[in-house]
Amino acid sequence: MFELNGTYVIFLFLFLIFIQLLNMIMLKPVGQAMEKRASRIQANLDAARNCTQESETILSDYKAKLHTSRLEAQSIIQKALIDGQKQRDEKLKIIQSEGRNKLEELKAGLTNTRQSLLQSLIHPELELVGDIINKLLGERLALVTNEKRVLQVLEKTR
């Protein structure tokens, strides 16, 4: 069955030497490279966490500044709108008062023109009434008419 002879011992001795050489040549350098790689990965992860924290603080500062500047911009816009509204109201009041003044002037001018036109119509009206009476009655009558009364009648017949 199983016999222990020198070949097994030599084979076992060579196998142990091979394992030792394999460990020295391959396994230790690969293990060291893996440890270096793991430490480098850990260092990169730590640096990434630090950068993430820094970027988050910068981002929060930026958001705070942005919020503040937006509030300032809104207050400036509101102030400009209020100032514009005040200026518009002032100009509108000035234009309205100028318009009222012009309207009053035009009304006064129209009233004066109307009165002068009515005054110019009194004598032709009297002549027309005289002609109508002459045609109706066949003779010319001396009419005693009041110019104020004719003016009142003309004003009523607008």
- pLDDT tens-digit series, residues 72-108: 999 999 999 999 999 999 999 999 999 999 999 999 9
Q: CA-CA distance, 150 to 129, in Å (whole number)?
A: 11
Q: Which parts of the chain fold into alpha helices (H)?
A: 6-22, 28-137, 147-156
pLDDT score, position 1: 56
Q: What is the pLDDT of residue 7?
A: 86
At residue 149, does pLDDT exceed 80? no
Q: Which helix (H) or strand (E) holds 3?
A: none
DSSP 139: S
Map tokens 């509030």 to a residue. 71
Chain centroid to CA 41: how far?
51
Span 44-62, pLDDT tens digits: 999 999 999 999 999 999 9
Query: What pLDDT does 84 receive?
Result: 95
Put simply, whether the predicted model's pTM sits higher than 0.85 gets the answer no
Whether the Cβ atoms of residue 115 and residue 129 lie closer than 8 Å to each other: no
Mark residue 138 as left, alpha or beta (left: phi above 0; alpha: psi -120 to 50; beta: remaining). left
Contact in structure between 133 and 143 (CB atoms under 8 Å): yes
pLDDT at 32: 93
| CA dihedral sign, ordered 37, 43, 44, 46 | positive
Residue 142 has pLDDT above 80, yes or no: no
Q: Measured between alpha carbons, how far is 48 from 43 in angstroms, rounded to an integer? A: 9
Is residue 2 very low, low, confident or very high in pLDDT (cuts 50, 70, 90)? low
Q: Which residue matches tokens 């109508």?
A: 132
As a whole number, the mean pLDDT across the chain is: 88
pLDDT band at 132 (very low <50, low <70, confident <90, very high): confident
pLDDT at residue 129, rounded to an integer: 75
